[in-house]
Amino acid sequence: MVKLNRRIADALCTAITIGFLMDNNDGKSGSKTKFIYEDGAREHTNLLDLLKEYRVEGTSITPQTSKAEQPFIWANSRGGFSKIETGGFASELKTLVGRLEEEINKVDSGGLHGAYIGGIADIATKKLNLLVPSLLWQRSRNTHMSNDEPSNATVSSSYESSRAISQVLIDELKGYRAAKGGIILESRSIDRIRAFGDLPKKLTSNALFASVHGLITAMTDAPPINSNSVNVELALGKDTCKIAACIPCSLFASSQNAPASATHLGRGDNWNFPENFGIGSRGIYASWEKTIGDMYYKGMGAGLVGDKIRAIPEFIALVEKDKSMIPQIFLDSLTFEGKFTKRIADTLQG
């Protein structure tokens, strides 16, 4: 039986991402996310050249606005809020982000891992309820995965640096009992942090881990209650994008008809749902699965992309064998760490 490897993982991420890029720019159905890149980043111009070469039409990736202006991501069905609406809010959040990040940056994570807190904000009252810091949980390998890829050593070291950062945030947020300048930590978050306790220092042998980003916790735990409310994510850490969601978060947000304000093509390593999420959340999960499948087909039909990917025999043997497994294989593919820009370049140029 063919097992998932880096090449298959990158190819699957490529098909889904290109489908998402195309879908986002076809002008249908209301609000969309905005794909952005960091000003001057060569990998994004390479990506645009590659899409042209593969005759993928109608995608748009634009330079990002200043991180200082708006250091957070939001998702809501109204299609976002204007800068004016979020202006006062942004300055309050800037202070909070600065303070939390100071703590986070004391931990050396090799620059690869960040911490992601979700929340729900009320634009009218400028109140923010932070829900819970980015959580990690241990999971086992599915049968279509081998015990060698990704290697135990890679997974362990990645977990340990992610854990160190998340633990700092958990400790820091334990102190946020009361309102601080409009920032409130919900009591159920405190309960959850307590229940979660300290993150285990090491994974058991052969285990993988899941990283639950704040936007997902917020959207599943505290969806908007009126037209003034919006889910937010604060992405903390030296190399986090801050103003844009990762591809997996953004795919999820779009599947719930609440597109992320912006999307970057960097990392979404080990992205996953909260533990035991499927229970009681069938509708949400089914919409997400449908979106992943739709984007896959769209990407495979884009220009010459499908031809290139279908020429990988092990890809056909694993991914096309049982298409209902594509959403799960996509989650497993995210345990092979790397930027989406690199996944796409390696797949199309490989």
Binding site for Zn ion (CB under 5 A): 213, 246, 249
Distance CA 212, CA 117 (A): 9
d(CA 47, CA 58): 14
Q: Nearest residue by C-beta to Zn ion?
A: 249
Minimum distance from CB of 233 to Zn ion (Å)? Answer: 7
Least distance in Å: CB of 118 to Zn ion? Answer: 10
Min dist. Cβ of residue 27 to Zn ion (A): 25
CB of 47 to Zn ion, least distance (A): 19
Q: Please give the helix or strand (H or E) that residue 183 lies within, else none.
A: strand 183-185
Q: Which is nearer to Zn ion, 121 or 260 (CB)?
A: 260
Contact between residue 166 and residue 201 where contact means Cβ atoms under 8 Å apart: no
Q: Least distance (Å) from Zn ion to the CB of residue 253?
A: 9
CA dist 214 and 298 (Å) reads: 28
Rounded to the nearest 5°, which phi and psi values hold at 46? -60, -40
Angle between helix 6-24 and 326-333 (nearest 10): 110
| Helix 152-174, helix 83-104: angle, nearest 10 | 110
Tokens standing for residue 111:
């620059």
Report yes or no: 83 and 70 within 8 Å, Cβ to Cβ: yes
Q: Which residues pair with 116 in a beta bridge?
A: 235
Q: Is 156 helix (H, G, I), strand (E, B) or coil?
A: helix
Nearer to Zn ion, 213 or 343 (CB): 213
Tell me the closest approach of the beta carbon of residue 250 to Zn ion, in angstroms.
8
Of 213 and 298, the one with the shorter C-beta distance to Zn ion is 213
CA separation for the pair 338, 330 (Å, rounded): 14
User: In whole angstroms, how close is the CB of 236 to Zn ion at the nearest point?
Assistant: 12
CA 278 from centre of chain: 18
DSSP string across 244-273: SB-HHHHHHHHHTT--BS-B-SSB-TTB-P
